[in-house]
Amino acid sequence: MTSSTEIVSKQDTIDYAARLGDDAIVIGHRLSEWVSKAPFVEEDIALGNVALDFLGHARMYYTYAAKLSNEQNGTNDITEDNFAYLRDERQFQNHLLHELHKGDFAYSTARQLLIDVYNKYFLEQLKNSSDETLAAIAVKAAKETKYHCRRSKDWTLRLGDGTSESHERMQLALNDIWGYSHELFEVDELEQRLVDAGIAVDCTLLKADWLKEVTAIIEEATLTVPDQDWVVSGGRQGYHTEHLGHLLTEMQFVHRSHPGAKW
């Protein structure tokens, strides 16, 4: 890989780290909504664990974005919290799939399957990033993602091949979210510059492996891969569904009510 610094600006890397952080914080938030509402206590704990993992990933990405921002601006007071709490809906660049509402347990399971398998392939590539910090984050996150994938697969099998009700709910969930999966594999101009510099992952290359693995699991669960004739995208450009605004309102309310306060 070529040396990157002269080809891309620091701002590009900041934006990239921030959007990876956005993905992680938003799905972590959704998962954390399950705590005390899961089908049984063991699942409250397990879902909380996965939420904690994503929260941890978000903090690593945001902390890196904050460090680069401080370097760029000659400041030292930008932190991970600036990224999570002080940006508006239009500035968040997470994939739409992550922000969709919590839904029922089938909905959360189906979404998590798509995201976890995606992360598995994504992080495998990010490990090769010429940016050492991003590569190191990928190594850490990949270990947890392995466990997430196993969990999501197990639950997909249980629900898909469980009762007729659980089967129906899973199929409905897959149908409802499938159109949001395509943007996971888009690369915009920012990411293309970073791909060329060896920093970012070329997501377009992940789709074949992802689809193969997800399809195998869905079919083993006696479910059907939905028709692929609808596509929604825009998250990376800050063009969100109505779900995100409410999520951010809740997440940011206290922090923003006390400008400059420490917690």
Partner 1 sequence: MAEYNKSEAELEAVFQQKIDSEQKIEPKDWMPAAYRKNLIRQMSQHAHSEIIGMQPEGNWITRAPSLRRKTVLLSKVQDEGGHGLYLYSATETLGIARSELIAALQSGQAKYASIFNYPAQTWGDMGAIGWLVDGAAIVNQVSLQRTSYGPYSRGMVRICKEESFHQRQGYVIMMELAKGTPAQKQMAQDSLNRFYWPSLMMFGPHDSESAHSAKSMKWKIKRETNDDLRQKFIDQTVPQIAYLGLEHPDKDLVWNEEKGQHDSGEIDWDEFYAVINGNGHSNRQRIQHHVKAHEEGAWVRDAMSAYQQKKLQRKVNAETAA
Applying CB under 8 A, the residues found at the interface with partner 1 are: 25, 29, 32-33, 35-45, 48-49, 51-52, 55-56, 58-59, 62, 80-81, 84-85, 104-105, 157-159, 161-163, 165-166, 169, 250-251, 253-255, 258, 260-263
Alpha helices for 33-104 (secondary structure H): 41-73, 80-85, 96-99
Nearer to Fe ion, 85 or 147 (CB): 147
Choosing among Fe ion, partner 1, none, which partner's interface includes residue 208 (Cβ < 5 to 8 Å by kind)? none
Q: Which residues within the stretch 130-149 sit at the binding site for Fe ion (CB under 5 A)?
A: 144
Tokens standing for residue 149: 């994938």
| 103 conformational bin, left if phi > 0, alpha if psi -120 to 50, beta if neither | left
CA distance 115 to 98: 8
Choosing among Fe ion, partner 1, none, which partner's interface includes residue 53 (Cβ < 5 to 8 Å by kind)? Fe ion
Cα–Cα distances (Å) from 217 to 87, 156, 214, 222, in that order, read: 37, 8, 5, 9
Among 23, 53, 99, 116, binds Fe ion (CB under 5 A): 53
CA angle centred on 171, ends 167 and 173, rounded to 5°: 115
Least distance in angstroms from the C-beta of 34 to partner 1: 9
Nearer to partner 1, 230 or 253 (CB): 253
Least distance in angstroms from the C-beta of 139 to partner 1: 20
- 156 and 110 in contact (C-beta within 8 Å)? yes
Alpha helices for 74-131 (secondary structure H): 80-85, 96-99, 105-126
Query: Which residue number is nearest to Fe ion in terms of Cβ?
Result: 53
- 130 and 3 in contact (C-beta within 8 Å)? yes
Least distance in angstroms from the C-beta of 257 to partner 1: 8
Q: Please give the span between the terminal C-alpha atoms of the chain, in angstroms, as a whole number.
A: 42
Least distance in angstroms from the C-beta of 127 to partner 1: 24
Choosing among Fe ion, partner 1, none, which partner's interface includes residue 205 (Cβ < 5 to 8 Å by kind)? none
Chain positions contacting Fe ion, by CB under 5 A: 53, 144
